[in-house]
Structure formats: structure tokens, C-alpha cells
Amino acid sequence: MIEFWKAHPAQFTLSQNQWNDLNSHFEKLLHQASVFERWEALSIVKRMALILFRIAMLLTAIRKYESDDWSAGLICEERDYQIAKSLVEVFRQHSFFLFDILGKPKGINYQRLPNRKKRFFENLPEQFQRREAIKVGQLLGISSASVDRWLKQMTKDYLEQSEHGVYRKMVFDKVDKKVKG
């Protein structure tokens, strides 16, 4: 196969729909990581986008080799893109799991420090008022100033604010698209 590629070099690219999907999907994951994880986790998301591209390229190259295709252009097939995306989602989840376990080496065991923002969000009821969020924050040892800051950050993508001080968690379907609820 290496000899085939030396004799028949080609340039790989994703389709425009795949590029759009990759960019929007990983933009959402970057935002999610910036809200719920430590800042260092952003590199995991960026790395996974690159890995998705590389896996899709390899799958497409293997498919081209098997079909004895001599064309100079390689456009990723949708099935190869979806396979790569599925694999990368598993890799991303495992990377975040390891990230939480390993933490930083400076003697701080980040595994013992819970992700407070994620725990706070998970402990909020489906619909609540600011004072209820403050109570949840107090139970978790979070200051009211942090609660207010986090509510403001989460209101962009994870909470709806129907009126001043009244919030509702957004509902997402299995592919993380907002659902009217």
C-alpha cells in the first residue's frame, strides 16, 4: 500500500458539509469544555478534531487503495467521516476521564477535587429561581458570587432565563441539539 501511495499521490479533503459539521461540533465541545472543565482541557478537544481528520483520511485512503482508484483527489466519504467521528467521541470521553484522574503533577490530586461547576449544574433542579441556585451552591461550598457568575455563563447555552432570577435547564436530544421543551 505504501508503494501505491508513492506512485499515486493524492490530496485529501473533507466535503463542505463535513467541514461545517466538524467546525460546529468542535466549537460546541470547546465551549462546553470552557464552561465545565479546567482551561487545560481545551487542548483535548483541539487534539480530537485533528485526530478525527487523520482517521477519516486513513479510512478514505484505504478505501481508495482497495478500489485501485488512481485519481489525484480524495474526498472523504460520509461513512468514513461518521466512523471517524464515532471513534473520536470515545477517545474524547476517555481523554477527559484520564484528565480528571491524572490532573497536574505538582502534588495536587485533582481526582479528589470534584468539578464543582459540573456538580453544581447537575444538582440544580430542572426549573429554579436564583435563590434556589444559591442554596445549592451553599450546600456545595460555592460562594453566591461564583453562583451568579456561573449562572450567567451557563445562560448562553445550558440555561434559559424566562424572567429575572428564574431559570430552566435546556433539553438536548441524543445528538446534543436543543429541543424546545
Q: In the chain, which segments carry CATH 1.10.10?
A: 116-179
- Res. 158: pLDDT tops 90: no
Which one has a higher pLDDT value, 172 or 55? 55
- Res. 19: pLDDT tops 90: yes
Dist. CA 1–CA 66, nearest whole Å: 9
- pLDDT in the model for residue 108: 43
The single residue listed with the C-alpha cell 503533577 is 105
pTM of the model: 0.60
CATH level 3 topology of 116-179: Arc Repressor Mutant, subunit A (1.10.10)
Q: Are 14 and 81 within 8 A, CB to CB?
A: yes
Dist. CA 117–CA 122, nearest whole Å: 9
Which one has a higher pLDDT value, 129 or 65? 129
Exposed e or buried b per residue across 85-115, where buried means at least 16 C-beta atoms within 10 angstroms of its C-beta: bebbeebbeebbeebbeebeeeeeeeeeeeb
pLDDT digits (tens, 9 = 90+) for 66-110: 877 777 788 889 999 999 999 999 998 888 887 777 755 454 444
